[in-house]
Amino acid sequence: MASGRGRPESAGMTISTLTLAAVALTWLMIMAASMLRTRGDLKVATGNRHDVPTPTPLAERADRAAKNMLENLVLFVALVVAVGGRDPARAQLGAEVFVVARVAYWLIYLAGIPVLRTLVWSVGIVGLAILGSAAL
């Protein structure tokens, strides 16, 4: 069955799958930041974290990226709920742009590339705008 934009509904990932992908990415980012912060020491990671080593610049970037993803995940999920079943092709496009941009954003942030990071973050915001426009 074709969608209103000429794309088959089976093309790409569904909005539900993209939402799960965003949640999984958020979890992965949080876990990676935690492991980098504790330098992979499971005793420190599972303890009270009183003796956490001073974070490396990479650990600090990973932590900031994870926090930013949590902030954006709230917006993404709220927009998915607001869209409901309206304009599924546009919602899917916005969700795809958001998720792909967030994966790229994370990798670029970890690599420490500041200007490109901001540009890719902006692409993610465009994805949220496309997704939000599907609710109108």
6 has pLDDT over 70: no
Mean pLDDT of 109-135: 97
Tell whether the model's pLDDT for residue 13 goes beyond 90: no
Percent of the chain with pLDDT over 90: 78
Q: What is the pLDDT of residues 58-110, one digit of tens each?
A: 999 999 999 999 999 999 999 999 999 899 999 999 999 999 999 999 999 99
| Long-range CB contacts for residues 65-68, cutoff 8 Å, separation at least 24 | 65/29, 65/33, 65/105, 65/106, 65/109, 65/110, 66/26, 66/29, 66/30, 66/32, 66/33, 68/121
Q: Is pLDDT at 40 greater than 60 in this prediction?
A: yes
In the prediction, which pLDDT does 4 show? 47
Contact 134, 90 (CB under 8 A): yes
User: Backbone dihedral region of 52: left (phi > 0), alpha (psi from -120 to 50 degrees) or beta?
Assistant: beta
Q: Considering the entire predicted model, what is its pTM?
A: 0.87
Specify the higher pLDDT residue, 40 or 92. Answer: 92
Q: Would you list the domain boundaries of the chain?
A: 15-133
Provide the CATH topology of domain 15-133.
Four Helix Bundle (Hemerythrin (Met), subunit A) (1.20.120)
